[in-house]
């Protein structure tokens, strides 16, 4: 159920970036080109977002898919902890 709700939410809006996506996407695109403009930050989020952009292309789905995947994994981890 949570995955279905995530898919509905991430599909809006499709044609432009939301709030801080423009900042993080520009840094991710630089990371893909092997240009690190933020050496003070760990590259983990850029690594996952860059992988998604490389696999699926530079579109709204690949921008938001890592967030959905980590959201679903977080639900699973909290469920296992509570059990």
pLDDT in the model for residue 67: 82
Q: What is the pTM of this model?
A: 0.64
Give residue-wise pLDDT tens across range 11-56.
666 666 667 677 777 778 888 887 777 767 767 777 888 888 888 8
**C-alpha span between 39 and 51 (Å, rounded):** 19
**C-alpha span between 3 and 29 (Å, rounded):** 27
pLDDT in the model for residue 1: 73
pLDDT in the model for residue 18: 64
Give residue-wise pLDDT tens across range 53-77.
888 888 878 878 888 888 888 989 9
> 3-state DSSP call for residue 37?
coil
């Amino acid at each position: 159920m949570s995955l279905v709700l995530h898919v509905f939410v991430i599909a809006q809006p499709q044609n432009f970036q939301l709030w801080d996506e423009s900042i993080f996407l520009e840094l991710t695109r630089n990371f893909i080109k092997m240009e690190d403009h933020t050496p003070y930050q760990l590259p983990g989020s850029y690594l996952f977002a860059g992988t998604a952009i490389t696999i699926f292309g530079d579109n709204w789905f690949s921008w938001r898919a890592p967030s959905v995947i980590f959201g679903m994994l977080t639900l699973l981890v909290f469920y296992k902890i509570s059990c």
